[in-house]
């Protein structure tokens, strides 16, 4: 298929964390009555070949969530008054409407975020106390988990889930407060974050890519000291 000019990068094509020369792109188009719609394609960056991933999806979808196998599992459609959330259990399963809410009732909205490798869908939504938190969402029943996975009192959450690209497991949550903060679910990363924070108390220490334009540090966890070097086993983004 020849891609149109209204195509943008969506995410890497990395089912189960495996790397490849392919990516997922989203193609948007203008439909009847001025409504936007979109589809996802698997695109080979070397050959230019593309494959439609969302055949039979709800018309007018503007937002997608894919699982750890790169299967589109959640589709959100909207018009002037309502937003509808559609879900399917797998690639061959039918799409089902599981939630709808009026656009002028933000307290009833949910925002799908990510799937983990176990198939758990994480969403941000408002709880009974009118504070946004992160919950798991049961696609079969259309219900949120009884208790949030993560909640930061006084701060609204709109994402920031940290998922291991290989295992697909939830590692932690990043959010904005007085500064960028990270709460790790993974015990080892939580201990490492605290060690880094003790060594660099006046910095915002955020785990990040080793390829970004920021200082690279090596941390001697046993001595709790840090030094800036060019090549390091532990890499953190440092923000003053």
pTM beyond 0.85? no
Residue 93 has pLDDT above 70, yes or no: yes
206 Cα distance to chain centroid: 17
Determine the pLDDT at residue 129: 77
Determine the pLDDT at residue 3: 57
Determine the pLDDT at residue 154: 62
Query: What confidence category does residue 63 fall into, taking pLDDT thresholds of 50, 70 and 90?
Result: very high
Instruction: Determine the Cα–Cα distance for residues 208 and 196; give it in Å rounded to an integer.
Output: 13
Of residues 24 and 178, the one with the higher pLDDT is 24
Closest CA to 145 of 166, 165, 121: 121
The pair of three-digit structure tokens given for residue 65, joined into one six-digit string: 């969530």
Q: Which of 2-16, 106-120, 140-154, 219-233 has the lowest mean pLDDT?
A: 219-233
Of residues 18 and 176, the one with the higher pLDDT is 18
Residue 84 has pLDDT above 70, yes or no: yes
Residue 189 has pLDDT above 90, yes or no: no
Residue 38 has pLDDT above 80, yes or no: yes
Residues 83, 100: contact at Cβ < 8 Å?
A: yes
Number of H helices, E strands in the chain: 1, 19
Closest CA to 47 of 5, 80, 102, 3: 3
DSSP 117-164: TT-PEEEEEE-TTS-EEEEEEETTTTEE-SS-SB--TTS-----EEE-
pLDDT tens digits, 146-179 = 998 888 766 656 557 888 877 788 888 887 777 7
The strand pairing partners of 99, in sequence order, are 85
Q: Which of 8-12, 65-69, 134-138, 228-232 has the lowest mean pLDDT?
A: 228-232
Determine the pLDDT at residue 193: 82
Torsion of CA 58, 62, 66, 70, to 10 degrees: 90
Determine the pLDDT at residue 174: 80
Which residue's entry shows tokens 């503007």? 62
Residues 125, 144: contact at Cβ < 8 Å?
A: yes
Residue 214 has pLDDT above 50, yes or no: no
Determine the pLDDT at residue 198: 82
Report the mean per-residue pLDDT for the chain: 80
Q: Which residues contact 141 (CB under 8 A, 6 or more apart)?
A: none
Determine the pLDDT at residue 156: 55
The pair of three-digit structure tokens given for residue 29, joined into one six-digit string: 């188009």
57: helix, coil or strand?
A: coil
Residue 138 has pLDDT above 60, yes or no: yes
Of residues 225 and 230, the one with the higher pLDDT is 225
Determine the pLDDT at residue 5: 57
Residue 82 has pLDDT above 80, yes or no: yes
178 Cα distance to chain centroid: 22
Q: Which residues contact 191 (CB under 8 A, 6 or more apart)?
A: none
Residue 219 has pLDDT above 70, yes or no: no
Q: Which residues contact 146 (CB under 8 A, 6 or more apart)?
A: none
Residues 64, 95: contact at Cβ < 8 Å?
A: no
């Amino acid at each position: 298929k020849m891609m149109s000019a209204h195509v943008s990068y969506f995410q890497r094509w990395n089912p189960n964390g495996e790397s490849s020369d392919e990516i997922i792109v989203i193609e948007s188009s203008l439909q009847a009555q001025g409504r936007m719609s979109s589809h996802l394609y698997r695109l080979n960056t070397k050959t230019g070949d593309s494959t439609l991933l969302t055949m039979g999806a709800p018309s007018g979808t503007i937002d997608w969530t894919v699982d750890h196998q790169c299967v589109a599992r959640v589709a959100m459609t909207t018009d002037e008054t309502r937003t509808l959330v559609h879900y399917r259990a797998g690639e061959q399963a039918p799409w089902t409407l599981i939630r709808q809410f009026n656009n002028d009732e933000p307290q009833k909205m949910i925002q799908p975020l990510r799937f983990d490798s176990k198939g758990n869908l994480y969403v941000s939504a408002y709880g009974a106390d009118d504070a946004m938190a992160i919950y798991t969402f049961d696609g079969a029943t259309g219900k949120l988990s009884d208790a949030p996975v993560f909640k930061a009192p006084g701060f609204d959450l709109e994402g920031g889930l940290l998922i291991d690209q290989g295992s697909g497991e939830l590692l932690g949550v990043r959010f904005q407060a007085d500064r960028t903060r990270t709460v790790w679910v993974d015990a080892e990363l939580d201990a490492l974050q605290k060690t880094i924070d003790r060594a660099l108390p006046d910095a915002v220490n955020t785990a990040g890519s080793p390829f970004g334009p920021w200082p690279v540090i090596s941390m001697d966890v046993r001595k709790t000291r840090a030094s800036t070097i060019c090549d390091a086993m532990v890499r953190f983004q440092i923000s003053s």
